Amino acid sequence: MNEETISLGELFSILKRSKWLIASLALIAALIAFLVSSYVIQPTYEASTQVLVAPKETQNNMIDTGQVQSSVALVNTYRVIIQSPAILEPVQENVVGAPEGISNLITVNSEQNSQVINIAVQHTNPVLATDIANEISTVFSKEVKELMSGVDNVKVLSDASVPMFPVSPNILLNTAIATVLGLMIGVAIAFLRVVLDRRIKTEQDVETILELPVLGSIPVIDRVEMQQQRQAKVKGEEVHV
């Protein structure tokens, strides 16, 4: 067992001897992760709204392809404007209870070659997250006209609704990860106990560690077995007498 290489059979033997340790650590880790995720970590909710960068229609109600491409090109600019103080400062003033540093709560993104901008707000208060998201889209759609010198091509596509379920923490995922970590720690401890154990237990250990040939060995006799042998010997002497 103290050799540099360990056979597959020895690996299974080590795991089998330490199965209760490994299972206990995995169970404890899973229980701790579940309790922390359920009762310690405050849940976070996400509310999202969408704004559309729409091209202007021509006199015959036709949409120019060039204007569509121009609207798509403006999306990246609008994403930066949404996260700028010009938009977020009025939002913070208008929404009751809005915390400082709203920029840390919002995520603004859009699909490639899309005219739709998604605005997501995460907060521990689902109602507050919804109010902030809706206010951002409202303020942006109004202020962009002044910021972009009369450009009026932004419309609120969908309002945010109050989320019913939190987006974090993910209790199931956290518990599963903790279980795997507990198993890994248990397996590591089981192997370390074997690797760091330098006691000589078998004739093979003598040859491996001390590099000496084994000339003989004394078998280990159990105490109960020894008493039985003595009793049998005494009875034999009595019969012989």
pLDDT per residue over 123-161, tens digit each? 999 999 999 999 999 999 998 888 887 677 788 999 999
pLDDT at 117: 92
Give 159 or 193, the one with higher predicted confidence. Answer: 159
pLDDT at 149: 75
Average pLDDT for residues 53-66, to the nearest whole number? 59
Average pLDDT for residues 102-108, to the nearest whole number? 93
92 and 75 Cβ atoms separated by less than 8 Å: no
Cα distance between residue 241 and residue 234, in whole Å: 11
Q: Say if residue 57's pLDDT is above 60.
A: no
- What is the 8-class DSSP label of residue 39? I
The alpha-helical segments, DSSP class H, found in 196-241 are 203-205, 223-240
Q: What is the CA radius of gyration of the chain?
A: 36
All domains in the chain, ordered by first residue: 1-41+169-198 (no CATH), 45-158 (3.30.70.1130), 200-241 (no CATH)
Q: What angle do CA 59, 63, 68 make, to 5 degrees?
A: 135
pLDDT at 1: 44
3-class SS of residue 168: strand
Written in H, E and C, the secondary structure of the chain is CCCCCCCHHHHHHHHHHCHHHHHHHHHHHHHHHHHHHHHHCCCEEEEEEEEEECCCECCCCCECHHHHHHHHHHHHHHHHHHCCHHHHHHHHHHCCCCCCCHHHCEEEECCCCCCEEEEEEEECCHHHHHHHHHHHHHHHHHHHHHHCCCCCCEEEEECCCCCCCCCECCHHHHHHHHHHHHHHHHHHHHHHHHHCCCCCCCHHHHHHHHCCCCCCCCCCCCHHHHHHHHHHHHHHHHHHC
